[in-house]
Structure 1
Amino acid sequence: MMIKQGKFFIVLILFLSISCDTEEIQIIEPIFETSQKDPPTLSYTWLDANIDEEQEDQILDLIEDHGFVWSTFPNNSLDNPNSEIIRKGIKKPNYAFSAFVKNLVGNTTYYVKAFIEMNNQIYYANEISFTTKPGTWKKLSDFPGEGLVNATGFSVDGKGFIVGSRTDFTDAQVWEYDPNLDSWNRKNDAPFSTIGSTSFVINNRGFLYCDLLWEYNSDLDTWSKLNDYPIYTYEHKGCKGVSSFVIGDKAYIGAGVGNLNEGLLEWNSVTNEFTSLTSSFSPRLNPNRSYASMFSLGNKGYVVGGEMWFYEEDESVIEYDIPNLSSSYRGSFDNDRGYDASRKEMVSFVVQGQAFIGMGYGEFPLTYGTNVGSQFDFYRYEPNGNRWIPQTYPVYVDDQDDIHFLDRAGGVSLVIGDRAFMGLGEDREYNRDTESFDTSLYTDFWEFIPN
């Protein structure tokens, strides 16, 4: 009888012990959230999440893994084949956690949620979304030569050509870019020197204006002078800082260092004749500047920025209505803070019927007149209302996720078919201590994809 009673007490003690252990085991569910983000201005961003600060000490040792799931689709999870997964492993002290993502596509909505793995379960926070700014930059093969500043670019037969000199006294290098192979090929040097000349394409023929007008034959890799003596020769001699736009079978050349900047020069590609339009427009709106940007939309040409007298950058936008031979002041080039931004040596191009422009040397004012140097902001120009719509701009994120901003002046741009490209130039800052410029050449090359 005593043995049976002893067995009964042992069973009772074991039962009470198991009952107490069961009551002590409490499943704690993490309290955390994915932080809502402002739209990123570039092709990268940080994903962020926060654990309830008061709870962190209770769950820190229980966390087996944590991170983010994200994609361009909603309802992300570790089991969703569309989801990108970022695992960060065991949680370190600090109630917040984050992850860096890069190579985001422009004008795209992304969905993100944080997750925590503990208690042999996966817990998800709320899912947030953000939309990137328009435009995507794709880095291509670097330019294989020495960097060039204020080179000019054009395309013929599906290939791009970049022309520029290293100095005022050396023949211009000519480089061919194949967009299908993403490859470069050095061609014969041009029979002239050029820094800051302008080039254009009419009916798949490539032309370059630098004091004289030249045509490039891509099949023979040769240059031909088309017109030795434009009318008003002295008035229209110029090469440095010249700009141009094309409407139909005519090119319009203006601005530049020297006398060319007094007005527009029209060149008829059919008759190979120049006509001065200096007296056709308001003298107040003549493109008397150098290193301005010119482009055309429909039957209208636009001149943006440039350098005026006494080395002062300008922010004005002038529209030329070519069929009606009229011109008008459209306003100023404004940055995304809403301030007038005086610039020169910008990159600009028209692709898919839209004009894009930016970077260059001048101001990015948070207040007027501040931060003069090379800039990196980039915009789509909407003539209706003179609106500047901010786009993403190229930044280089290396393998260590270090971010390199690419302030650029004197870059080159060109369009091949319906694809736009940009690169080269230099980072230029004025050193007030030495009263000189600190410069660093670029050899990078990018494709801009509007979206």
Structure 2
Amino acid sequence: MKNVHAYLIGAAMISTSMIVSQGCTKSTDDDSELIGNWKKSDDFEGNARSEAVAFTIGDYAYVCSGTATTERFKDLWEYSTSKRYWTQRADLPGAARNSAIAFSIGTKGYVGTGYDGSARLKDFYEYDQATDTWTAKAEFAGTARYDAVAFAVDGKGYIGCGYDGNYLKDLWQYDPTQDQWIKKASVGGSKRSAAMAFVVNGQAYICSGNNNGEIQQDLWAYNASADEWTEKTKIYNYSDDSYDDDYGTIPRSNGVTFVIGNYVYLATGENNSANNATTWQYDPITDRWTEKTGFEGTSRTGAVGFNISSRGFVATGRNISLTMDNMYELLPNDEQVDND
């Protein structure tokens, strides 16, 4: 059984000075022509792992759960760019797990679903940053699953897609004030697991993912107030009279996304078991992608990504022979330098 995971990046918008993308930058075999530099950052201080989850509250990032070979975790770790080290916090209640979901609303974080080594899960917990305590909340109202996606918009959380023995495309909304789940409009396109979700400028998106070995080549935007999905530009090699792209390395499963300013960054992950080291920047205004310098750490899948203090990070993950505990930061507008 292959256990993979999709990750949420916190919904709070972060401002930074960026260069506006004009259309599409062609993919190139010469990575030195691309802009962006990956900088080695502070190692994750828990056990090396993959398929963990991450959420952010203010200027703090939290990494929880995950797996290393046959061992699963339920520990929670906190990181800030000012402290430059990781602090262990209260363990997640319930079973140790991998391939769960997470999102944050205000000063609370939420973790649920996943796989405990023998069963798919649907329990759901709230983390209070102020008291470092967890509270069991209403169970997820959809089927028990792993490799789902999650995001938060306008004070509500959402869980969708994933795998419950079959691939899924349903979407469920969580209202923390009522501790209640409501079924919403299903995600457009195909069923999928291990997709990537992100929120930028108050708009939620679901990107790519896997359906029975087929990597999905699409991007969907969700209007929460209208409960409607809109397909954006396809993410594959395509050309017409309006533009010509080279998007063939964007589609993947089990990658990470994070937001810096008004742009989204997609990194790591896999495409049919081959790790994908390319990094792409998405501009939601133009609905176009620009390739950035490829991830400069060991190529990996099942990592976590998050943005805090106007900065984007990728941590943990695995490749064929290694489970990792290191972390890298993307400097999206810097020239590439040698990090050795």
Shift of 1:375: 1.2
Shift of 1:325: 2.4
Provide the residue aligned with 1:97 in structure 2: none
1:350-372 CA-partner distances (Å, limit 9, x unpaired): 22122111221106xxxxxxxx5
Aligned-partner residue type, residue 222 of structure 2: Y
In the alignment, structure 2 segments of 5+ residues that lack a partner are 1-17, 20-31, 114-121, 238-244, 334-340
The percent of aligned pairs where both chains have the same amino acid is: 21
CA distance in 2, matches of 1:339, 1:171: 35
Provide the residue aligned with 1:254 in structure 2: 160
CA distance in 2, matches of 1:424, 1:334: 28
CA distance in 2, matches of 1:386, 1:307: 22
Shift of 1:394: 3.4
Superposition pairs of residues 168-247 of structure 1, within 5 angstroms: 170-192=72-94, 193-210=96-113, 211-228=122-139, 230=140, 233=141, 236-247=142-153
Structure 2 contact 73–98 (Cα < 8 Å) conserved: no
Shift of 1:340: 6.1
CA gap of 1:268–1:287, structure 2 versus 1, over 3 A, is: farther
Provide the residue aligned with 1:361 in structure 2: 270
Structure 2 contact 81–309 (Cα < 8 Å) conserved: no
Does 2:63 match 1:162?
yes
CA gap of 1:417–1:340, structure 2 versus 1, over 3 A, is: closer
SS at match of 1:440: coil
Shift of 1:393: 3.1
Shift of 1:203: 1.4
Does 2:40 match 1:142?
no
Provide the residue aligned with 1:345 in structure 2: 254
Aligned-partner residue type, residue 269 of structure 1: P
Q: Which has the higher contact order (CA 8 A, sep 6+)?
A: 2
Shift of 1:295: 1.1
CA gap of 1:260–1:296, structure 2 versus 1, over 3 A, is: farther
SS at match of 1:271: coil
TM-score under structure 2 normalisation?
A: 0.75
CA distance in 2, matches of 1:179, 1:287: 38
Aligned-partner residue type, residue 418 of structure 1: S
CA distance in 2, matches of 1:297, 1:159: 19
**Aligned partner (choices 175, 193, 197) of residue 294 of structure 1:** 197
Shift of 1:245: 1.8
Provide the residue aligned with 1:319 in structure 2: 221
Task: Report the count of equivalent residues.
Answer: 286
SS at match of 1:441: coil
Aligned-partner residue type, residue 255 of structure 1: C
Shift of 1:157: 4.5
Shift of 1:313: 2.3
CA gap of 1:219–1:324, structure 2 versus 1, over 3 A, is: closer
Does 2:167 match 1:263?
no
CA distance in 2, matches of 1:379, 1:340: 9
Shift of 1:183: 0.8
CA distance in 2, matches of 1:149, 1:395: 18
CA distance in 2, matches of 1:447, 1:155: 16
Which protein is bigger by CA-based radius of gyration?
1
Structure 2 contact 60–78 (Cα < 8 Å) conserved: yes
Provide the residue aligned with 1:377 in structure 2: 278
CA distance in 1, matches of 2:310, 2:328: 14
Provide the residue aligned with 1:441 in structure 2: 323
CA gap of 1:315–1:286, structure 2 versus 1, over 3 A, is: closer
TM-score under structure 1 normalisation?
A: 0.58
SS at match of 1:395: coil
In the alignment, structure 1 segments of 5+ residues that lack a partner are 1-105, 108-130, 364-371, 397-405, 428-437
Across the aligned residues of Structure 1 and Structure 2, the Cα RMSD in angstroms comes to: 2.7
CA gap of 1:262–1:390, structure 2 versus 1, over 3 A, is: closer
1:317-351 CA-partner distances (Å, limit 9, x unpaired): 12222222222322333488442654100110122
1:272-310 CA-partner distances (Å, limit 9, x unpaired): 221101xx35x7x266211100112334321111111x3
Q: Larger helix proportion, structure 1 or 2?
A: 1
Aligned-partner residue type, residue 448 of structure 1: L
Superposition pairs of residues 271-282 of structure 1, within 5 angstroms: 271-277=178-184, 280-281=185-186
